[in-house]
Amino acid sequence: MKKMLITGGAGFIGSNFVHYTLRERPEYKITVVDKLTYAGNIENLRSAMDEITFIQGDICDRQLMDKLVGEHDIVVHFAAESHNDNSLRNPWPFIETNLVGTASLLEAVRKHDKRFHHISTDEVYGDLPLDRPDLKFTENTPYHPSSPYSSTKAGSDLLVHAWVRSFGIKATLSNCSNNYGPYQHIEKFIPRQITNILSGMKPKLYGNGLQVRDWIYVDDHNSAVHAILDKGQVGELYLIGANGEKTNKFILETILELMGKPKDFYEHVTDRAGHDQRYAIDNEKIVKELGWQPKFEDIRKGLEETISWYKENATLWEAEKQAVEAKYKENGQ
């Protein structure tokens, strides 16, 4: 069995990756390391604890990362501070985790000559104009981040590229569009709207809601990561997207419809500072070179499954709902 170390494996995408790997790729023996900040929840892994090794730790801890990386064959790096609004309130955790933490992993990977895959975001490219639907991000799009979050993710990507070129580490990278699905923290757009409705509150829409996001169901992201681990070329970057461009307004109104509410049952709130207008990914490279295809291209079906999960797992989010909404209220959102 190959030994896989997954950083940030108690977070949203990371925990889904753990469950996906256990289900679809039993040849991997998994260790998860997670700091268990507010966005990392051990309950996300509860059903898998008998099948994995879990270590509570910080990727900025160089001694711990050196030890863990040395004991494994492959490192899949999900750990990151990832919420734009939080990065605008306090950038420092993003600088520490996304930059310093990634550097500590890269040095351990370099020392022990291990395979490394770095998970990143399309937000490193900034945004696209709403009136140019022909334009999409590609692997050659220049970086133009617009928030402390996306800037630190861009910096972490550049560190990986530098370690590949300067030190010859065996690394690949992927920049993915907006994920949605089970286990996502309720501060994020889709679960916030779903849990507001389930809690008897009106959902909230930033500004006019015409910002466009390229949505992908989380298991499609995770299958793409495995395609890169299996067939990706060392040193290469792959963009992961499922052709799921929708406005925030469309997503919210679809959620309301699926949950039996009027389409106008929401409140407009103050727009986010520097809010990116449109993301869209050209996935041609990963489709043509690695043969990957998304399975959840019907966003209504994906949203139905997501809504069902939050209904059935209220115990995982109810206790923190009030605090999350209070934080938004402080900022008029």
Q: Which residues are catalytic?
A: 122-123, 149
HSE-up of 331 (CA within 13 Å, CB side)?
A: 15
Residue with tokens 């959102």: 333
- From CA 32, how far away is CA 42, in angstroms rounded? 11
**Sheet of 178-180, strands arranged across:** 178-180, 212-217, 245-247
- Residue 129 burial (CB < 10 Å; 0-12/13-18/19+)? exposed
Task: Render 97-140 in DSSP notation, one character per residue.
Answer: IIIIIHHHHHHHHHHHT-EEEEEEEGGGG----TT-TT--B-TT
DSSP letter assigned to residue 237 = E
Residue 240 CA to residue 221 CA, distance in Å, equals 7
Rg (CA), the chain: 19
